């Protein structure tokens, strides 16, 4: 029998980065989140379920669906795990930021 710990629900009305949901795909836990700036970018491309903020009917339906289909949902996240670990690791955004800062520096100093 599934329990509430078989799924993560983040029903935020505001979420800047979604750090909690970045970590959970690596743990193979199905996620349900809200369609917010920041959080929706983290969930995009993942097998997560997404609902509108404040839509309690859709939220409760999605929770029941996650729990009713918990084994299939877990398999979706197991398959997604390798991508999540690679995508959310710190090296990728750190490398992208370094390139961006280098471009800004090169532009400001007249270098190409």
Quick count: other Cβ atoms within 10 Å of Cβ 61? Answer: 13
Q: What is the pLDDT of residue 2?
A: 56
Q: Check: pTM over 0.85? Answer yes or no.
A: no
Residue ranges of domains in the chain: 4-108
70-99 pLDDT tens trace = 788 888 888 888 887 777 777 878 888 999
Of the candidates 33, 29, 34, 24, the one whose C-alpha atom is nearest the C-alpha of residue 70 is: 29
What is the DSSP annotation of 34-58? E--TBHHHHHTTSS-EEE-TT-HHH
């Amino acid at each position: 029998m599934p329990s509430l710990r078989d799924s993560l629900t983040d029903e935020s009305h505001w979420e800047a980065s979604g750090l909690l949901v970045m970590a959970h795909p690596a743990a193979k836990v199905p996620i349900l989140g809200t369609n917010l700036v920041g959080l929706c970018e983290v969930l995009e491309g993942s097998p997560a379920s997404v609902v509108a903020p404040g839509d309690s009917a859709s939220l409760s339906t999605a929770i029941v669906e996650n729990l009713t289909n918990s084994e299939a949902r877990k398999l979706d996240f197991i398959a997604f795990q390798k991508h999540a670990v690679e995508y959310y690791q710190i090296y990728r955004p750190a490398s992208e930021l370094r390139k961006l800062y280098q471009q800004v520096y090169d532009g400001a100093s007249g270098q190409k």
